[in-house]
A and B are shown apart, each in its own frame.
Chain A
Amino acid sequence: MKGMILKEFRELRRDRRTMAMLVALPIVLLIVFGYAANFTVDEIPTAVIGERADQIERALPEIFTVADDNDPDADPRQLLRDNVVDLAIDSSTQPPTAYLDGSSLFAAQSADAALARGGDAVEVEILFNPDLDTSWVMVPALIGLILTFIGTIITSIGLVKERQNGTLEQLAVMPLRPWDVILGKIAPYFILAAIDMLIVTLVGVWLFDVPFAGNPWLFAAGAGLYLFVVLGLGVLISTVSQTQAQAIQLAIMMLLPQILLSGFIFPLDAMPTVIAWIGRCLPLTYFVEMSQGIFLRGAGLTSLWPVFAVLLGMAFTVFTAAVLRFRRDLAPRAHQKARAS
């Protein structure tokens, strides 16, 4: 048995990825969970409008932070729709009306609780998700998670299988252009994932009664961009994996932080700055923002353009990197020329 134990340890030592998962993962999980796992938002971006704005601002509890460039003449509903703030208090009514953004579920809950402690001083109106229903917020985000899962894992497995079976080499010696192979290989996954997205969206809306307030075409465009990102990630994973098991392992390592840090389970606003910044580097974060915005608030490009710009940038970078790496496997000659010139 001693020989067996020794052999197993020696083998494990060589399997770097498994060792990394065994040692690094618990530490990372602990730190991320410890800091990020926080449902309580203790800082709520607030706008106060109307002529008594200054007076109300001074009376607000500490949890509500009013930006220095607070515009007393803005439209409170528009401010919430554009996701500028999570709470807008209109002082022109009697009592003042507090509009809450129900699509920022945890912020809205915290705000609602804080305002309730002040008695009937304000009239509270929750927009976009009046019952603060969790599933309304979760379903639009889950669509992104499902797409990430399918796009990344299925694509990388499909490609690695081709490499493992030696058929990738066979493709490389056929009179096909590298683009034929790359696009021909990715298009079916894109189509399947798009169909998946449609099904999940329709079933989600139908089963959970989630409203779809925005423009479906805008949503389709955003989801399509996002698909390019996740399929590109899948291709990238496949180019650095020799076996399907390795591909799955890597894909899971990429998925885990997205699930935890993209803001759809734990609000980004409640995370420490560093962790929140990690979250802001992950594509799913932007899908969640885009999806919840269009689904619940009916947000348009005027407010979502930065999200679309980030997704576009990510799609372009990841997809280009993936295609270049994949092309290197297929057409070494072209690669060589490029390097020589």
Chain B
Amino acid sequence: MTADARTWGLDSVTVRYGSHVALDQVTLQATPGEVRALVGGDGAGKTTALRALAGALRPAEGEVRAPSLAHLGFMPTAAGVWRDLSVDENIAFAGAVYGVRGATLRERRATLLEGTGLAGATARLAGALSGGMRQKLAFSLAMLHRPELLILDEPSTGVDPVSRIDLWRMISQAAADGAAVVMATTYLDEAERASHVLALDAGRVLIEGTPAQVRAAVPGHVATTETPAELAYAWRRGASWRQWSPDSPASGEAPVADLEDAMVAAAFAKLAVAEGESAPAGAPVASSSIVRSARASAVPRRQTGDADAAPLIRASAVSRRFGDLTAVDDVSLTVLPGEIVGLLGANGAGKTTLIRMILGLLPASAGELELFGEVPSRHTRARQGYVPQGLGLWAALTARENLDFVDAAFGSRGTALPEALTGAGGRTVGQIGLGGQRQLAFAAALGHEPQLLVLDEPTSGVDPLSRARLWDVIHEHADRGVGVLVTTHYMQEAEQCDRLVLMSRGRDVAAGSRDDIVGGVRALEVEVEQWPAAFRALSEAGLLVSLAGTRVRVIGASTGQVRDALGIAGLRGGIHQVPATLEEVMTARERLPA
């Protein structure tokens, strides 16, 4: 068996749509047993690259090396499941298509349903599943025939953290079983756990390598600071700032902390080059529309959560029942002026129901809810801004017309277009990219200077630089005393919040900073030569296993349990205690008996 024969990938592949070059000389290797992450923003070419690899489109130039369709698994962005079929019928159909039948089908079905936690839902229609469960079903369909090459297009976008851990575990499992996995993702913490990262930008490879190589390859350096010197290249991470500068790091300075910072820095580096080419030397760099405006002064972060101030949201012991189901159970929550509160939880934890009650879209079954010290009414609505997950823009109207309508509804005046859309006010929302649409939705929600901002998954599917930009806007408003309530599935977004509230099964189970919530919870990291074998052994022992690079992580188990499970398989390796991630804490809460 030669490695080459089983190495799939793209060789200098170029794809054009008409005159638009979607992919420009992209080379990508997919190695068996490895997970390769494709990162990049909207329009970077991730989907095109995956579709070319899957043989769904024919490139203009270059060579595609892929196994025959019978040995290839592809999961498209919009989860490829048949919504009018039950989970079982979906699997039966995929089995019939790929010729998986009899005992093999039964065995695969049992394994996949077990791993995805779908075993109890086999009779449910795929359309009635939650987003996370549907993605897991789609993954199961793509994996059913044990493909040699597994291609996943944003399998975890919009999926709750617990389902995402499940998915990641299954992806790791597929790699451990010898499949070559290529996946696109906008979650950089996920990319961080992949063995190899390929960052695409406007159809070209921006940076590639192992996560550590990518972090090291970022031009210039990133510093953490309280007061950024040059706002054009600065962005917020929670309470502090990051500052990129094109100079090489001084010796002894810490390298780029994570991929999130690395990708923002790489985007800035590219901008700096572009500005340097187009502008005469010495011209201000801040003229680029995507760079944050100089208008926003570096206000030092004010003391957040002024406890003496009257709360903007005060929910005490709020419950909401739908028939027999209690979606929100006795939840209390306050949001103070100038405070950013993050609402976390798996799908079905009750986040959306709580938000809908706060917005006045749903009455509470029990408990008290006050906005600005009043019972929610039409008048309190005039003081709140809301950006729903689906953005809530009128697609047939232009950007300007959307803002005009919102102005009319709120009685505000002349809300300005976001900077990225300057000069694009006459374009309809449908003609604006996803990033621009998000900025427009923010502008629409902020035009009437609300005192309270409610954001539902504000940056899902957005590239790192745009995400940094949107968070700058959120922080700016919080600095001016606006209270912000954010629901998020994105753990790096959770770090941007002053305070977090974790919901599980309708209840608020933990609150405080990220560290408060993680508390003393620890994960175990296993370092062994043959990680696939270790991964299999540990998951067969029924432990919650996931993969970080080539190390196997286990949560909710003792060192002894892990050592025993490895021992049965005849494996030995180092077992270290490490702090658990927020996602792991949430998974442990949902999956392990209390």
Contact = CB atoms under 8 A, between A and B. Distances in A.
B82 interface: yes
A170 to B, nearest CB: 3
Interface string A168-180: 0111111111000
Interface stretch (A9-17, A245-253, A254-262): A9-17
A313 to B, nearest CB: 33
A6 interface: yes
B382 A175 contact: yes
A8 to B, nearest CB: 10
Tell me the dominant secondary structure on chain B's binding face. loop
A166 B378 contact: no
B430 to A, nearest CB: 11
Nearest to A172: B361
A10 B85 contact: yes
Interface residues of A, number: 24
B395 interface: yes
Contacts of A176: 378, 409
A165 interface: yes
B386 interface: yes
Interface in A45-104: none
Interface residue tally on B, bucketed by range: 20 to 34
Given A3-B93, A166-B388, A175-B378, A14 B363 contact: no
A173 B379 contact: no
A298 B376 CA distance: 56
B381 interface: yes
Contacts of A177: 378
Interface string A1-26: 01110110011001100000000000
Contacts of B386: 170, 173
Given A7-B85, A166-B390, A332-B363, A174 B93 contact: no
B464 to A, nearest CB: 26
A170 B92 CA distance: 40
B515 to A, nearest CB: 34
Contact of A174 (B381, B389, B390, B395): B381
Given A14-B125, A166-B388, A166-B392, A175 B360 contact: no
B382 A169 contact: no
Contact of B388 (A4, A7, A15, A169): A169
Contacts of A169: 361, 388, 392
B410 A11 contact: no
B97 interface: yes
A19 to B, nearest CB: 11
B84 interface: yes
A11 B126 CA distance: 11
A14 B84 contact: yes
B361 A167 contact: no
Contacts of B92: 3, 6
Contacts of A7: 82, 85, 89, 93, 96
Interface string B67-83: 00000000000000010
A238 to B, nearest CB: 16
B89 A173 contact: no
B267 interface: no
A176 B409 CA distance: 6
A167 B402 CA distance: 11
Given A165-B394, A332-B362, A333-B360, A174 B85 contact: no
B388 A14 contact: no
A273 interface: no
Interface string A157-171: 000000001110111
A175 B410 contact: yes
Contacts of B361: 169, 172-173, 332
A111 to B, nearest CB: 54
A38 B144 CA distance: 59
Contacts of B85: 7, 10-11, 14
B96 A173 contact: no
Interface in B109-138: 125
Contacts of B362: 332
B384 interface: yes
A167 B393 contact: yes
A166 B441 CA distance: 13
Most chain A CB inside 10 Å of its own CB: which residue of B95, B363, B395, B411: B363
A175 B362 CA distance: 16
B394 A167 contact: yes
A174 B409 contact: yes
Nearest to A180: B409
B96 A167 contact: no
A302 interface: no
A336 interface: yes
A33 B244 CA distance: 77
Contacts of A10: 84-85, 89
A291 B409 CA distance: 40
Nearest to A333: B363
Contacts of B84: 10-11, 14-15
A336 B392 CA distance: 25
Contact of A175 (B89, B381, B393, B394): B381
Contacts of A4: 96-97
B363 to A, nearest CB: 4
Contacts of B378: 175-177
Nearest to A177: B378
Nearest to B444: A170
B359 interface: yes
A6 B86 CA distance: 13
A7 to B, nearest CB: 4
Given A10-B85, A169-B361, A3 B392 contact: no
Contact of B96 (A2, A172, A333): A2
A338 to B, nearest CB: 11
A10 B83 CA distance: 11
Contacts of B410: 174-175
A155 to B, nearest CB: 16
Interface in A219-275: none
Contacts of A333: 360, 363, 376
B1 to A, nearest CB: 33
A281 B388 CA distance: 43
Nearest to A165: B395
A18 to B, nearest CB: 10
Contacts of B395: 165
A6 B379 contact: no
A172 B363 CA distance: 13
B459 to A, nearest CB: 17
A146 B376 CA distance: 44
B458 to A, nearest CB: 15
Nearest to B362: A332
Contacts of A332: 361-363
A211 to B, nearest CB: 42
Nearest to B387: A170
A14 B360 CA distance: 34
Interface in A168-200: 169-177
Interface of A: 2-4, 6-7, 10-11, 14-15, 165-167, 169-177, 332-333, 336
8 contacts: A165-B395, A167-B393, A169-B361, A172-B360, A173-B361, A174-B406, A332-B362, A333-B363
Interface of B: 82, 84-85, 89, 92-93, 95-97, 125, 359-363, 376, 378-379, 381-382, 384, 386, 388-395, 406, 409-411
Given A172-B360, A173-B359, A175-B382, 15 more contacts: A3-B92, A3-B96, A4-B96, A10-B84, A11-B84, A15-B84, A166-B391, A166-B392, A167-B394, A173-B381, A176-B378, A176-B409, A332-B363, A333-B376, A336-B363
Q: List the 5 closest A-B pairs by CB distance, nearest first.
A: A3-B96, A170-B392, A166-B390, A175-B382, A14-B84
